[in-house]
Structure 1
Amino acid sequence: GPTDSLVYHRKLSKSNFATKVSTAFRPDPAVFIEAESYNGYLDELEGVMGITISSYDELCDALKNRIDYFNENGCKLSDHGLEHIYAEDFNASEIKLIFKKKREGLNITPDETSKFKSALLLFLSETYHEFGWVQQFHLGALRNNNSRMHQLLGPDTGWDSIGDYPQAQQLSKFLNKLDSKNVLTKTIIYNLNPSDNEVMAAMIGNFNDGSIKGKIQFGSGWWFLDQKDGITQQLNALSNIGLISCFVGMLTDSRSFLSFPRHEYFRRILCNLFGNDIKNGELPNDMDWIGSLVKDISYNNAKAYFNF
C-alpha cells in the first residue's frame, strides 16, 4: 500500500537475485473513507511522508507522490478490491467538503461515501494512465460476514464470501468516464461471482479500441473461482464472447508463496480445453497454431502487456 517503504524490493533490485520481483500499488485504505480506521491510516501516511493531509487536494497530491515513488521502484500495476465500481456524479467542492468532514471526525452518509470513492477512483485511474500502469479491479467480495470471528481474529482470516452486487452499469459508466477523456489505461477486471462471467466478457469489448492488444482484460478465475470448474468457465465465457488469443492468463496470490503452482494448473486446464475442442472437431488439428496460442496465453501476452 501507499505507506510501504518498499525497503525489501529496493534491496532485491540491488542484489544478484536473478528473479525479477516488482510490487503492486494497493491504495484501498485511502479509498475506504467509511472505515473507522480511515483517519488513523491517513495519519500513518502523513508520518511516512512527513506532510499534512488535511484537505482532499493534499490527499491527491500525497497519493500521486507515492505512485511516483512506487513507479521509480519498478511498480507497473495497481490493484483495487471493491464490492463494485463506484461511478457516481459529483462536483469538486462537495468532495472537498466530504473529506473535510471525515478528517474532523464527523459522520458521512452512504451517498457521500459513494461520491468520494467515485472521485478518488477516477483520480487514481487517471494517474495510472499518466504513468502507463495497468490497473486491476477485483470486484464482488462480501467481506467480514462473521462479526464474532472478525472481532476475535481480524480481517482476511476466512470469513469472506461471494457477493451478489450489481456490476455492469457502474463499471460501464466508470470506464466510459475515463475513455471519453482518453485517459483509460490498460485494465484487468476480475469478478468473484460466476454469474458475472458473461457480463465481464462482454463489457471489455466496449472499450477494446485496438490501440493496445487486449487493452481491457477479463481477468482469470479469482479466489473461490480459482479451481478447475471456475477457470474453465472463465475461459469459455471469454472465448465465446471475446478474443481468448489476447488473454494475459493466470496470476499468483501476493500473500501466498504456495500459489505459484497455479500457473501449471492453469496451463493444464487450458490445454485440456483446447485438446477436447480439437478432439471434437471444434478447433483445427493444427498443433503449431494452437501451440502458439497456448504460449501466448501462458506467457507471451503477459510479458508484452505488463512490459516485463
Structure 2
Amino acid sequence: MTEPTGTSKDDQEPTGGKQSSAEASGAATEEQRTRGGEPPREGEVEQSADGAADTSPEGGTRLAPTRERRGMFGVRGTGDTSGFGGLTLPGYAPAPAERPYGGWFDELADELADALDRNGIARSAVRQITIDRGEITFYVERERILELCRLLRDEPALRFELCSSVSGVDYTAPDGAEVRQPLHVVYQLLSMTHRRRIRLEVALDVADPHVPSVVEVYPTADWHERETWDMFGVIFDGHPALTRILMPDDWEGHPQRKDYPLGGIPVEYKGAEIPPPDERRAYS
C-alpha cells in the first residue's frame, strides 16, 4: 500500500496522514513549556474592548471552577427516575491562553491578526483566545461576528470554508450566583484547504440575546441558527426565516435554557402533565 501523496497545502501533512492538531503533529508540549508557554489557569485576566486588561476573571463571562459535581446516576431517595437527581456540574471555564500557544495555533493567530489589520477591523474584535484540550477558541464581539466569519472564509491564509455547527450554551449558575453574559453562541469552523478546525464564541446577556446571523456567509448555518433560537432564545438578526424547528410555532419558552422547568408541562393531546424529575415515582 502506497503512502498518500495528495495534500491541500504543499508544506503540510498528506491527506490521510496524522491529524494536524497541536498535540499530535505540532510543537511538543515540552518544547512549548521550554519556550515559556503555560497551561491555562482560571482567574487570569482577558482583553477588554478598549484593549486594556479586564480586572474580572474571565471577563466575567463564565463561572469560576468552585463548585463540586453532585448527583448523576446512583442517586437514591429522591424519586427521580431520570438518573440525574439534581445534577450540579462544576463551573469550569478555560482561562485566556498566553503565547506561545504551540503547534499551528501561533501561525493561525498571527495570520488572523494580519488579516484584521488589512481589512480595517480592530484587533479587539477578538476579545480572548483560549487553548484547552488541544483546541483553540476565539471569543468574539457580537457586532463583529459576521465580518469576522467573512474574513475567516475569504482570506487565503485562513480559508475556513465550512461552518459545521452553530449551537447555544447557557452558563447561568444553578445556585443563582451572578454570571455576566451567561448565554453563549458557539460556531464550529472547518478549513478544508488547510485541514484545521477552530471555534468561535459570542457571549450575550439574557435580556439582550441578539447576534447577527452568519447565513449570508455560511448557508449551512441556516437550520443551526433556527435550532439555537428554538432551544435557547438567541435572536439571529438578519436570518432569512427565524422560526422554530423542533417545538410548535406557538410554544412558550426555550427548553434548553436554565430557567426552563424540568417538568410539569401539559401534554395537549391527552391533557396529561409530566411531573418534575424529583416528584416522579421511583421503581427501585
- With normalisation by structure 2, the TM-score equals 0.29
Q: Which has the larger radius of gyration?
A: 2
- Identify the structure with the greater strand proportion: 2
Greater relative contact order, per chain length (Cα 8 Å cut-off, separation 6+): 2
- With normalisation by structure 1, the TM-score equals 0.28
